[in-house]
């Protein structure tokens, strides 16, 4: 199965944090499957406490041979290993965020996890990098392709800035 993962960091060495998470995800990926890596973008914090630093965001996709809950456990372990601390404040600044977006066309809903991610179609910082690697992807519950969902966002948010232009 193909797993889509969104990565974000807005504390510490953001680029190094993303690279470390990507390396950790490569270690759990199926080795005989392609590992797709989107460009990294700098993004303004959305839905975060006032004064939160800008994020670096990207998306990866890889083959994964396991259950959704096994992938979630691996993502949480990566976050913990890289120093993420959860104080309970929603959308707080963080060293690393490893969010599961989808696992093929699987629909999973329980108290721990929802797949596909219920808000991914509303977030430019997810859709833009995902469109860079999988523009024609259609996920359950979304009748449109990823690029069509991205187009549908309009100009309500600030554009994303590729890291190479900013850092």
d(C-alpha 96, C-alpha 92), whole Å: 11
User: One of 14, 81, 94, 134 is an active-site residue; which one?
Assistant: 94
Cβ burial of 128 (10 Å; 0-12, 13-18, 19+) is: buried
Cβ burial of 131 (10 Å; 0-12, 13-18, 19+) is: buried
Cβ burial of 48 (10 Å; 0-12, 13-18, 19+) is: middle
104 is catalytic: no
Q: Are 120 and 5 in contact (CB under 8 A)?
A: no
User: One of 97, 123, 124, 132 is an active-site residue; which one?
Assistant: 97
User: One of 84, 123, 124, 134 is an active-site residue; which one?
Assistant: 84
23 is catalytic: no
94 is catalytic: yes
User: One of 14, 99, 132, 134 is an active-site residue; which one?
Assistant: 99
Within a 10 A sphere around the Cβ of 43, how many other Cβ atoms?
23
26 is catalytic: no
Within a 10 A sphere around the Cβ of 39, how many other Cβ atoms?
15
Indicate which residues carry an active-site annotation: 84, 94, 97, 99
């Amino acid at each position: 199965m193909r797993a889509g993962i969104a990565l974000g960091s807005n504390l510490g060495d953001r680029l190094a944090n993303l690279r470390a998470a990507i390396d950790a995800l490569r270690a759990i990926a199926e080795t005989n499957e392609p590992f797709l890596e989107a460009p990294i973008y700098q993004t303004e914090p959305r839905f975060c406490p006032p004064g939160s630093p800008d994020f670096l965001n990207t998306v990866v996709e890889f083959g994964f041979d396991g259950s959704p809950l096994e992938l979630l456990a691996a993502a949480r372990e990566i976050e913990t290993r890289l120093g993420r601390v959860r104080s309970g404040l929603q959308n707080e600044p963080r060293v690393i965020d490893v969010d599961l977006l989808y696992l093929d066309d699987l629909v999973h809903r329980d108290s721990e996890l929802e797949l596909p991610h219920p808000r991914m179609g509303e977030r430019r910082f997810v859709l833009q990098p995902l469109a860079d690697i999988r523009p024609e992807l259609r996920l359950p519950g979304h009748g449109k392709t990823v690029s069509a969902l991205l187009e549908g966002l309009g100009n309500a948010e600030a554009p994303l800035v590729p890291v190479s232009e900013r850092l």
